[in-house]
């Protein structure tokens, strides 16, 4: 079994070791060392990165037999290696992981909410709490308590005890890994928990703990949080976003929310007005088209071909025309797509659905349908002139139907 150097000292970044096994895996060299500083993916924490004899380490994991396998890009000629871990990544994981212990204990103290799982991702970390009914004030109180523990810069000690001893202690959670020795992370007079991860030596190194999102999930409450460097990066981005919005809206940062909500109300009012005016315009258009159509035998046929007209608008126009007694609307739109809308007043003659079936083949389409008083269909794009010809044909067919 490899000696896990990170168990004793999370701050050690360089080490010398001997390769005790080498195999090839997915075109990469996989090596097992007699000792290593590389933390393998486990316990919700991702693996370290770094180098072995200058070659990049692509991944580190624990094999079924417990050996720690390092996947290396490139050749390792010597059996003696010098390893170096990516400290920035390691320290980030130490901040997030220690922050998680503090936050989990803070939720117990403030709301009696236990942590059922923890995940540390590349940009954020989450804990799932066993109570999805927490109030906003409880969450804020837990966040504040967690940060107080950070500010108090309490020592974080690592202790090894027997399993029997661990069972006597007031641990947040007993380890689920087999073995007689249990590794405890002891945050001075605040939290005691079994954990195999990497942690900072004093809580002050966590920097700060910020909860950024809460989601209810199957009876649990998932809290996404950021610690230390990640919290700073997030603050930087959000600060720059607010400053940018504030400059765009020419208002103070504390007025941005009010300003956006005011703009939204104005936009809604403008949209309402636009809808009202569009509807008035359509009424006027329908009247104008009806006035232009010459009645014959008490029947007024309104024909109109347009280009790229909104289908909903075309339907509304047809319905307005057909609302006038003795009227028939034969409307169409060409352009990107072809639309035909045929409508008639209840007292006008003609079978609109039948008429549409006769017309659609002329436009190379078969998509559409309707009833005796209203039918619509569409097809591939065509110029408005073509649509006009089809509508002229529609008028002839309609008059022949009588
Ligand atoms: Zn831990």
Q: Tell how far the Cα of 195 is from the centroid of ligand 1, in angstroms.
A: 5
Predicted TM-score (pTM) of the model is: 0.76
Provide the pLDDT for residue 294: 82
Q: Tell how far the Cα of 61 is from the centroid of ligand 1, in angstroms.
A: 17
Tell me the sheet residues that pair with 294. Answer: none
Provide the pLDDT for residue 146: 98
Q: Tell how far the Cα of 97 is from the centroid of ligand 1, in angstroms.
A: 5
Q: Are 48 and 66 in contact (CB under 8 A)?
A: no
Tell me the sheet residues that pair with 379. Answer: 338
Provide the pLDDT for residue 176: 66
Q: Tell how far the Cα of 284 is from the centroid of ligand 1, in angstroms.
A: 73
Which residues, by Cβ under 5 Å, contact ligand 1, an ion?
97, 195, 197
Tokens of 64: 């079924």
Q: Tell how far the Cα of 168 is from the centroid of ligand 1, in angstroms.
A: 20
- Total Cβ atoms within 10 A of residue 126: 18
Q: Give the single-character DSSP code of 39.
A: P
Q: Tell how far the Cα of 172 is from the centroid of ligand 1, in angstroms.
A: 12
Q: Tell how far the Cα of 101 is from the centroid of ligand 1, in angstroms.
A: 6
Provide the pLDDT for residue 59: 95
267-293 residue pLDDT tens = 999 999 999 999 999 999 999 999 998
Q: With b meaning 16 or more CB within 10 Å and e meaning fewer, what string describes 320-341? A: bbbebebbbbbbbbbeeebbbb
Query: Is the C-alpha dihedral spanning 171, 173, 174, 175 positive or negative?
Result: negative
User: Per DSSP, which regions of 208-265 are E strands?
Assistant: 209-217, 220-227
Q: Tell how far the Cα of 105 is from the centroid of ligand 1, in angstroms.
A: 12
Residue entry with tokens 């079978």: 351
Pairing of β 28-33 and β 14-25: antiparallel
328-385 residue pLDDT tens = 999 999 999 999 999 999 999 999 999 999 999 988 887 889 999 999 998 898 899 9
Residue ranges for the chain with pLDDT beneath 70: 175-178
């Amino acid at each position: 079994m490899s000696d896990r150097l990170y168990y004793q000292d999370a701050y050690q970044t360089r080490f010398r070791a001997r390769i005790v096994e080498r195999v090839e895996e997915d075109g990469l060299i996989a090596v097992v060392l007699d000792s290593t500083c590389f933390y393998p993916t486990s316990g919700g924490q991702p693996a370290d990165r770094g180098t072995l004899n200058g070659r990049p380490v692509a991944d580190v994991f624990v094999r079924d037999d417990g050996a720690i396998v390092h996947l290396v890009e490139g050749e390792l000629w010597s059996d003696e290696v010098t390893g170096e871990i990516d400290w920035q990544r390691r320290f980030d994981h130490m901040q997030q992981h220690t922050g998680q212990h503090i936050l989990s204990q803070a939720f117990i103290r403030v709301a009696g909410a236990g942590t059922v799982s923890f995940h540390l991702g590349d940009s954020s970390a989450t804990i799932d709490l066993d109570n999805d009914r927490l109030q906003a004030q409880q969450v804020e109180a837990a966040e504040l308590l967690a940060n107080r523990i950070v500010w108090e810069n309490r020592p974080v000690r690592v202790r090894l005890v027997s399993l029997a001893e661990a069972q006597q202690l007031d641990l947040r959670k007993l380890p689920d890994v087999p073995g007689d020795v249990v590794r405890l992370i002891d945050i001075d007079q605040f939290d005691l928990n079994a954990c195999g991860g990497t942690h900072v030596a004093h809580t002050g190194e966590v920097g700060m703990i910020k909860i950024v999102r809460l989601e209810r999930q199957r009876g649990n409450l998932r809290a996404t949080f950021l610690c230390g460097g990640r919290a700073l990066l997030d603050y930087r981005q959000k600060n720059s976003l607010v400053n940018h919005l504030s400059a765009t809206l020419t208002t103070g940062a504390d007025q941005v929310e009010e300003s956006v909500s005011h703009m939204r109300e104005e936009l809604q009012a403008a949209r309402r007005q636009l809808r009202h005016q569009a509807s008035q315009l359509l009424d006027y258009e329908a009247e104008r088209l009806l006035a232009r159509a010459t009645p014959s035998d008490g029947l007024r046929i309104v024909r109109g071909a347009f280009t790229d007209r909104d289908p909903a608008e075309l339907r509304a126009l047809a319905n307005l025309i057909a609302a006038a007694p003795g009227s028939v609307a034969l409307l169409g739109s060409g352009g990107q797509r072809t639309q035909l809308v045929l409508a008639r007043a209840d007292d006008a003659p003609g079978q609109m659905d039948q008429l549409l079936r006769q017309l659609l083949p002329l436009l190379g389409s078969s998509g559409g349908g309707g009833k005796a008083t209203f039918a619509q269909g569409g097809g591939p794009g065509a110029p408005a002139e073509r649509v006009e010809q089809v509508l002229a044909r529609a008028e002839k067919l309609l008059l022949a139907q009588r």
